[in-house]
Amino acid sequence: MNRRDLLKIGAGAVFSALTRGQAPGSRMKVDAYSRHLQWLRSPDEVAEAALEMGFDGLDVTVRAYPGHVDPAKVATELAPFVTAVRKHGLQVTAITTNIADADSPNAENILRAASGIGITHYWWGTFRYENNKPVMRQLDELKPRVAKLAALNARYGMKAMYHNYAGTQVGCAIWDFLYVLRDFDPKLVSFHYDIGHATNAGGGGTWINNLRAAGPYIGGVSVKDSYLEKGADGRDWRPRYTPLGQGNVQLGQFISILKEISFSGPMEIQAEYPNGGADNAQDKITLPRAQVLGAMKKDLDVLRAALKQAGWA
């Protein structure tokens, strides 16, 4: 690593510290997820909506349309979009990408462009298990891919955050992918811990020790709520997404453990319950703007109340 790379990493860290302000004990800032605002196309419209709801920042989707920044044009589109959002006083420290490893399309271009404007975190994933192949062997085979991505992250001063789900993908159990990550620096590779998915995947409180075990590797968190219900076939259980506070997520306990493990990364809300198309990344909505934004603002109010109760507001 040359001196220029070290300076770049240092500059990114300073920018992150100045803009995110997530030191343990300080006010926890909460980002809006631009995936739910893709029905607004200009950065000014998106920023104004985020501010109207009361968010502190924005996680920008760097994905194919209707994502806000085209990954194939990231070198020319990301900086103007982020600069415009920041002019409204919002932080932008994280982006959402489709990067699975260092060889993913546009991976290095995305990291180079993001690092150049002080972004420090990005969504990463997702690996899937192959049937009829030993699980532990598959996890060991992931390590060289993670090593290559970690090296790329070191070059640009970026942290990859692997998003966990509830299902059969790698990382749903947390312990399985933690087995892979423990060989690498958590400053470079980490989890993007989704408490909604973790609660459904680890019912009966299994998520609690999973979160504690992964503590140093929790790079960012996603807050959503849901409960499980039987599908139409009467056999499979499926998540029914709800506004925050109406599902099975123990929000207060989750925040308490985040404080316990000294979490300091980006926090965002994912509003995936029915909300006129904003819930599933549409570029048009079927409900009034005020109704769509009002629903997401209520989520933020619920989260703010829980953070305040934990002394983190």
How does pLDDT run across 26-36, given as a tens digit for each residue? 789 999 999 99
Residue with tokens 């503590």: 215
pLDDT > 90: what percent of the chain?
86
Residue 103: is its pLDDT beyond 80? yes
Task: Give residue 297's pLDDT.
Answer: 98
The upper half-sphere exposure of residue 14, i.e. CA atoms within 13 Å in the direction of its Cβ, equals 7
Task: Give residue 14's pLDDT.
Answer: 38
Rounded CA-CA distance 232/93 in Å is 41
CB 226, CB 240: distance < 8 Å: yes
Rounded CA-CA distance 58/82 in Å is 9
**pTM of the entire predicted model:** 0.91
Taking the alpha carbons at both ends of the chain, their separation in whole angstroms is 39
pLDDT tens by residue, 225-243: 999 998 887 778 889 999 9
Q: Which residue has the higher pLDDT, 10 or 244?
A: 244
pLDDT > 70: what percent of the chain?
92
pLDDT tens by residue, 115-172: 999 999 999 999 999 999 999 999 999 999 999 999 999 999 999 999 999 989 999 9
**Alpha helices, DSSP H, located in the chain:** 3-20, 43-53, 74-86, 107-116, 135-156, 175-181, 195-201, 206-213, 251-260, 289-309
Task: Give residue 279's pLDDT.
Answer: 98
Residue 66: is its pLDDT beyond 60? yes
Rounded CA-CA distance 218/220 in Å is 6
Rounded CA-CA distance 241/271 in Å is 8
Task: Give residue 22's pLDDT.
Answer: 56
pLDDT tens by residue, 175-185: 999 999 999 99
Task: Give residue 11's pLDDT.
Answer: 40
For 39, which DSSP code? T
Q: What angle do CA 262, 268, 274 make, to 5 degrees?
A: 145
Task: Give residue 20's pLDDT.
Answer: 42
Tell me the CA distances in angstroms from 35 to 223, 239, 270, one per residue in order.
14, 20, 9
Three-state SS at 122: strand
pLDDT tens by residue, 81-102: 999 999 999 999 999 999 999 9
What amino acid is encoded at 251 in this protein?
L
Across residues 53-60, what is the average pLDDT?
98
- Structure token digits, residue 35: 């995936």
| Backbone φ and ψ of 169, nearest 5° | -75, 160
- Structure token digits, residue 198: 């973790």
Domains of the chain from N-terminus onward: 3-309 (3.20.20.150)
**CA dihedral sign of residues 291, 295, 300, 304:** positive
- Structure token digits, residue 280: 């599933």
CB 57, CB 49: distance < 8 Å: no
Residue 16: is its pLDDT beyond 80? no
Task: Give residue 235's pLDDT.
Answer: 78
Task: Give residue 26's pLDDT.
Answer: 76
Q: Which residue has the higher pLDDT, 10 or 217?
A: 217
